[in-house]
Amino acid sequence: MKKQKILFVMAMAILMVLMGALYANAASLAWDYTDSSNVTGWVCYYQATADTSKTYSYTLNDPAARTMDISALQLIPGTEYNIWLTAYNTAGESGPSNTVDFTSPAFTPPPDSHPVTITIEAPATVTITQP
Q: pLDDT band for 5, please (50, 70, 90 cuts).
A: very low
Q: How far apart are CA 52 and CA 129, in angstroms?
A: 44
- In a domain, residue 120? The reply is yes
DSSP structural state of residue 85: E
Mean pLDDT for the chain?
A: 75
Q: Which domain holds residue 96?
A: 15-129
Q: What is the pLDDT of residues 33-81, one digit of tens each?
A: 777 678 999 999 999 999 999 999 999 999 988 888 888 898 998 999 9
Among candidates 10, 37, 15, which has minimal Cα distance to 83?
A: 15
Q: What is the pLDDT of residues 87-101, one digit of tens each?
A: 999 999 999 999 999
φ/ψ region of 63 (left if φ > 0, alpha if ψ in -120 to 50, else beta) reads alpha
SS3 96: coil
Q: Which residues, 6+ apart, have CB-to-CB distance to 131 below 8 Å? A: 112, 115
- In a domain, residue 87? The reply is yes
| 12 pLDDT higher than 70 | no
- In a domain, residue 111? The reply is yes
- In a domain, residue 10? The reply is no
For residue 72, which phi and psi values (nearest 5 degrees)? Answer: -65, -25
- In a domain, residue 19? The reply is yes
Q: Count up the domains in the chain and report the number.
A: 1
Q: What is the CATH number of the domain that holds 86?
A: 2.60.40.10
- In a domain, residue 97? The reply is yes
- In a domain, residue 3? The reply is no
